[in-house]
Amino acid sequence: MKKSILIVPLTLLVLGTAACGNQGSTDSSTSKTSSSKVQKKAKPKTSSKATASSQATSTSESSSEASSAAPADRLTTMKQAVQAKVPGAKFPSVYSAATGKHLNVQAVGDSSNYGLYLSEGSQLPFNDASLDGLVAPIAIKKTTYGSAAAAEAQINYRPQQAGLPKVDVGDNLTATEEGAAGSTYLTWEEGRWSLSLQASTINGEDPLPLAKQITTLLSQEMLPVPAGHGAISVSTTTTNSRNNTVTWREGNAVYVVSSTSPLKALQTAIDLK
């Protein structure tokens, strides 16, 4: 009986010790597994969407930088050059050069009295020495006088004369017609502006088609508003001289846009800013 009693406790002791060992092993394994899971959760993951978004942002930024670094168009470049030399100078907001040609500009004078000469050809630097204002097809000039009255006296305003035959020039306007020295003149008024159109009868020129083109243009576009009066003088005769003029007053200053083309003279005056 005594031997049996001693064997039983020893057996239980061995089983208990084994159980404790297994429990420790399980706890250790659980701890390692848990630690491994924490490390995996802590490890940052790179999302494919995040990568794509990052790449798109980088591409967008590069595109934006390229866009901001792109050279300005020719008109903007010339305008900036003009206004750097002549602060406040009026310059066309729109200009279309002929295919294969570039706008070139020569500027002289200062803010009170200046001349801008616009021509087309191969691309030249602003105020290039080869540019000649005398032969440029478009000129924009400003002249400042001592008083508004002195400036107004420079405007060759031509009101219609009574008793002359009348011609319908479109847009509900009528012009008076007068013949003199081998030419026919049509004269009419729009607001503060007088318009005089000359055609050569010797060359068989008819002034009416151009007159209707002008009234159509002015029904769609607005000329500068003169302080007093403005005067437009154009011709159907094609020459190399700038004999088509648009003249008006602002304060003590008189502006004159002249061109070899009547419609170009008008459109340039309309687009001046």
Judgement on whether residues 112 and 189 belong to the same structural domain of the protein? no
174 within a domain of the structure (yes/no): yes
Judgement on whether residues 256 and 200 belong to the same structural domain of the protein? yes
Give pLDDT tens digits for 114-141. Answer: 999 999 999 999 999 999 999 999 999 9
252 within a domain of the structure (yes/no): yes
pLDDT value at residue 18? 40
**Last residue within a domain, chosen from 86, 116, 136:** 136
Judgement on whether residues 148 and 233 belong to the same structural domain of the protein? yes
> Measured between alpha carbons, how far is 222 from 266 in angstroms, rounded to an integer?
10
Determine how β-strand 114-121 pairs with β-strand 138-144: antiparallel
Mean pLDDT of 164-186: 96
128 within a domain of the structure (yes/no): yes
Give every CB contact of residue 1 below 8 A, 6+ residues apart in sequence: none
Judgement on whether residues 192 and 152 belong to the same structural domain of the protein? yes
Mean pLDDT of 164-193: 96
> Measured between alpha carbons, how far is 105 from 117 in angstroms, rounded to an integer?
6
36 within a domain of the structure (yes/no): no
Judgement on whether residues 264 and 199 belong to the same structural domain of the protein? yes
Judgement on whether residues 173 and 232 belong to the same structural domain of the protein? yes
For the whole model, what pTM was predicted?
0.74
Output DSSP code: residue 93.
Answer: S
Give pLDDT tens digits for 95-105. Answer: 999 999 999 99
Judgement on whether residues 149 and 271 belong to the same structural domain of the protein? yes
The pLDDT of residue 68 is above 50: no
pLDDT value at residue 33? 39
pLDDT value at residue 7? 37
Question: Tokens 């003249």 — which residue?
Answer: 247
Confidence of residue 181 (pLDDT cuts 50, 70, 90): confident
Lowest mean pLDDT of 20-29, 164-173, 180-189, name the range.
20-29
pLDDT value at residue 200? 96
Q: Which domain holds residue 78?
A: 71-136
33 within a domain of the structure (yes/no): no
> Measured between alpha carbons, how far is 251 from 272 in angstroms, rounded to an integer?
17
Mean pLDDT of 176-194: 95
> Please, what is the Cα angle at 208 between 204 and 214, to 5 degrees?
130
Give how many domains the chain has, as a whole number: 2
> Measured between alpha carbons, how far is 273 from 248 in angstroms, rounded to an integer?
14
Coil, strand, or helix at residue 155? Answer: coil
> Measured between alpha carbons, how far is 212 from 193 in angstroms, rounded to an integer?
16
The backbone torsions φ and ψ at residue 217, rounded to the nearest 5 degrees and listed phi first, read -60, -45
